[in-house]
Amino acid sequence: MSRCVRVDLGERGYDVVIEESYDRLSQVVRDRRRIAIVTQATVDRHVGGLVRAQLSAVGVVHQTFMMDDGEDAKSLTTVEKLSRSFAQGGMLRGDLVLAVGGGVVGDTAGFAAAAYYRGVDVVQVPTTLVAMVDSAIGGKTGVNLPEGKNLVGAFHQPRAVFVNPLVLHTLPDREFRCGLGEIAKYALIGEDFVSSQVEGLIRRDPATLAVVIARCVEIKAAVVARDEYERSGARAVLNYGHTVAHALETATGHTLLHGEAVAVGLVFAAHLGAILERVNPELVATTEGLVRGLGLPTDAPAGLHADEILELMARDKKSAGALTFVLDGPNGIERVENPDPGAVRKALAAIQVEA
């Protein structure tokens, strides 16, 4: 069954196509002169042939450029390398970048596309669950610095997004479960549509995945349509749990994967909301139960210290000069700046960050 979710941005709107093939990809790219496929070796072995077959079927000239694996590859060095490869391959302003991979590929290739020729089109083909439900949608692109995650980037909306749930069977268990961290976030920022689907998600049932992915995309698309550039504050809801998550990723040298860090961040946000008396303490138990049920951690890795995490959170790109969190409360999920420092440290202690 095919599902299509529209990201409604007027003339710049686009479709997120969710189906068990890439058959519609050729329709979107058929008029392009040249296409640069950006991917990784492991992804290319599983998906590259399927994608290239669609391009060859309509006679589009294409080249494949490889990125390294891991968050370290999500860097300005990689953007320069890709941009130079585009230039050497004859890419012009009317050509297109096809990002085939997880969040590392999508974020980096998307930023390279945003910068090259001051902006060439990009189509996202996410191959991880994290990318399918979150990072490939909404136009956020960027790379990391040693000082923090995603500190350099641009808003650059794709022309289309193609999600094939069948490719999720190629993921290692840990990487697949990372996507469940983002799915838990979507369940906690609105109606819980996940708890009833846990068994099917863990089995990677394609029909269950298609339903859950589509719902996550619908939620994100609606938020992005209201606040594309994060100016009104409406898009802040999508960062629920992420301030601590990004700090944990940086502090662990990215050995704690993004979805795992988000899961811990969701638990932290529930604790902080309860400590600040913004939410009923029962939210902590609800959050921990959902996260554990999806096989994700509820505590930070051992050996992390509050001072380091606080410093990293203060540098978060969403901080606006203050220590900023996204928390649930009487008015729903919203930005909260400079909460009581003692409460923050108490919430960090609750996820086993050392004083």
CATH number, residue 229: 1.20.1090.10
Around 12, how many Cα atoms within 13 Å sit in the side-chain half-sphere?
13
Provide the 3-class DSSP secondary structure of residue 245.
Answer: helix
Residues 36 and 157 in one domain: yes
**Catalytic residue chosen out of the listed positions 239, 254, 260, 318:** 239
Residue 242 is among the residues annotated as catalytic for this protein: yes
Does residue 121 belong to any structural domain of this protein? yes
**Catalytic residue chosen out of the listed positions 220, 254, 271, 318:** 220
**Catalytic residue chosen out of the listed positions 81, 156, 235, 254:** 235
**Catalytic residue chosen out of the listed positions 52, 242, 254, 271:** 242
Contact 40, 66 (CB under 8 A): yes
Q: Look at residues 170, 196, 223 and tell me which one is the last residue of a structural domain.
A: 170
Residue 271 is among the residues annotated as catalytic for this protein: no
Residue 230 is among the residues annotated as catalytic for this protein: yes
Q: Look at residues 117, 136, 170 and tell me which one is the last residue of a structural domain.
A: 170
Of 236, 259, 224, 75, residue with least CA distance to 153: 75
Residue 318 is among the residues annotated as catalytic for this protein: no
**Catalytic residue chosen out of the listed positions 32, 74, 156, 246:** 246
* Share in percent of the chain as helix, strand, coil (round to 5): 50, 20, 30
Residue 278 is among the residues annotated as catalytic for this protein: no
Span 323-339, average pLDDT: 93
If one counts the domains in the chain, the total is: 2
Around 45, how many Cα atoms within 13 Å sit in the side-chain half-sphere?
4
Residue 246 is among the residues annotated as catalytic for this protein: yes
pLDDT band at 249 (very low <50, low <70, confident <90, very high): very high
**226-245: pLDDT as tens digits:** 999 988 888 889 999 999 99
- Rounded-to-integer distance, Cα 302 and Cα 309, Å: 13
Residue 258 is among the residues annotated as catalytic for this protein: yes
Does residue 355 belong to any structural domain of this protein? no
Residue 156 is among the residues annotated as catalytic for this protein: no
**21-75: pLDDT as tens digits:** 999 999 999 999 999 999 999 999 999 999 999 999 999 999 999 999 998 999 9
State residue 231's pLDDT score.
84
Q: Look at residues 152, 170, 188 and tell me which one is the last residue of a structural domain.
A: 170
CATH number, residue 114: 3.40.50.1970
Which range marks the domain in which residue 43 is found? 3-170
State residue 216's pLDDT score.
97
Find the helix or strand (DSSP H, E) in which 66 lies.
Answer: strand 61-67
Residues 193 and 307 in one domain: yes
Residues 157 and 289 in one domain: no
Residue 220 is among the residues annotated as catalytic for this protein: yes
